[in-house]
Amino acid sequence: MYLAVFALLSCVGAWLAWRRNPLYSTRSTLRVVFVVGLSIAAVIGLIIAAVNFTMHKSPVVAGITLAAVIIFGTLSLIFIIQSVSTPQQAKLEVTLPPGAKLVHFHRQKIYKWVKVLAIMVAICGTLGIVIPGDARYAALALGAFALFMAAVLLPVAYVTARRFDVSLTALECNPWVHWQYTPEQWTQWTGVQVERMEAEPPKIILKRDWHSLAWTFFAIAVAVFIFYPGRWLVDSLSVIFCYGLILTIVLLTPRENHRTAEIMRATLLKIPPEVYFGRDGVFCDGVYTQWLSMDVYLLAASIDERQPRSLLFRFEKIEPNPYGGYPAVPIHQSVLIPSGRESDIALLQKELIARCPNAHIALC
């Protein structure tokens, strides 16, 4: 019952998140629902056929066949959903000029995960051989699960990362605007961004937001004692633990802001001092952000008149919450305007208005 309610809330949250996306349309939504429904039915039929085929086969043959069918069906379903759910306006540029060298910016992160999973599988396999008795099956089961997840997630992650790398390469080969900065300009601008981040007030201040925390504490207590009745001692300790964890996070937020700012300083000083604007998005501060996508989209662009003058882009990102819901998280990207390049702003405004008609563009 609880899982059904949780699934229903997740579906409602996903619908509301998609409904606020500027790419939303009723026609495309109905088409996605229809195609995804047919795809799920086809995968279920494929699994049923595999079960019937292996019913009288050996356990090894049955296991390998079912695993292969499940992996193939899952990958097919994921790629189909990605393809049909991405509107035409959000499709990335995939055409590169002759001789263009494909960047590995996004795929480098996938390579690290490949190494981690490979090491994990190797360790579990070694433990399965070394550990005596039935305890070895726990390590082998963990290794098999990691191998299965790698077979499903890594291909999807690699294909997605490669698509982003192709888009980024196309953007660098044919940008709307390309700004480069001297090391002195970049160092100064990095210091300005760090100072501004450290000056931001914490999102939660105990003296100001105590009533919101009180309601949160009350909701936690009600949820725990209603869904898990009869265990007063365990429930009370669980509630107290949650209260302490929340208060700790609130009290440590100022220190976390300083730590985040210092991490940003170290990151910015390592990356090339340049920025690219193009059809698919903006590549700045070592981050590639799309103008329009299923989970990130531009809301507004303006001029920040604080010295040194900069462009301020406001995005919204939909982040799935493990506890249900799809909250919209604001993202702010500041881009330093290099001296002598103010004429590029008019071109950028024109291109952004055409690319993001629903966004508020006020650069000129």
Which pLDDT tens digit goes with each residue over 259-300? 777 788 888 888 899 999 999 999 999 999 999 998 899 999
Q: Rounded to an integer, what distance in angstroms lies between the CA atom of residue 206 and that of residue 249?
A: 11
CB 173, CB 276: distance < 8 Å: no
Contacts of 338 (CB under 8 A, 6+ apart): 179, 180, 181, 185
Residue 17 has pLDDT above 80, yes or no: no
- Percent helix, strand, coil in the chain, to 5, is 65, 15, 25
Give this prediction's pTM.
0.80
Q: Rounded to an integer, what distance in angstroms lies between the CA atom of residue 282 and that of residue 180?
A: 14
At which residue do the structure tokens 């396999």 appear? Answer: 125
Contacts of 325 (CB under 8 A, 6+ apart): 9, 10, 13
Question: In 10 A of CB 287, how many CB atoms?
Answer: 13
**Token pair of 45 as six digits:** 């039929």
The pLDDT assigned to 229 comes to: 64
For the chain, give the percent of residues with pLDDT over 90. 34
At which residue do the structure tokens 């970049």 appear? Answer: 186
Eight-state DSSP code of residue 41: H
Instruction: For the chain, give the mean pLDDT.
Output: 83
Reported as a pLDDT band with limits 50, 70 and 90, residue 9 is low
Q: Rounded to an integer, what distance in angstroms lies between the CA atom of residue 319 and that of residue 229?
A: 32
Q: What's the pLDDT tens digit per position in 224-263?
A: 666 666 666 666 677 677 767 776 766 665 555 667 777 8
Q: What's the pLDDT tens digit per position in 39-68?
A: 999 999 999 998 888 888 888 888 888 888
Q: How far is CA 314 from the centre of its chain?
A: 17
Reported as a pLDDT band with limits 50, 70 and 90, residue 1 is very low
- SS3 for 219? helix
Torsion sign over Cα 283, 159, 74, 85: positive
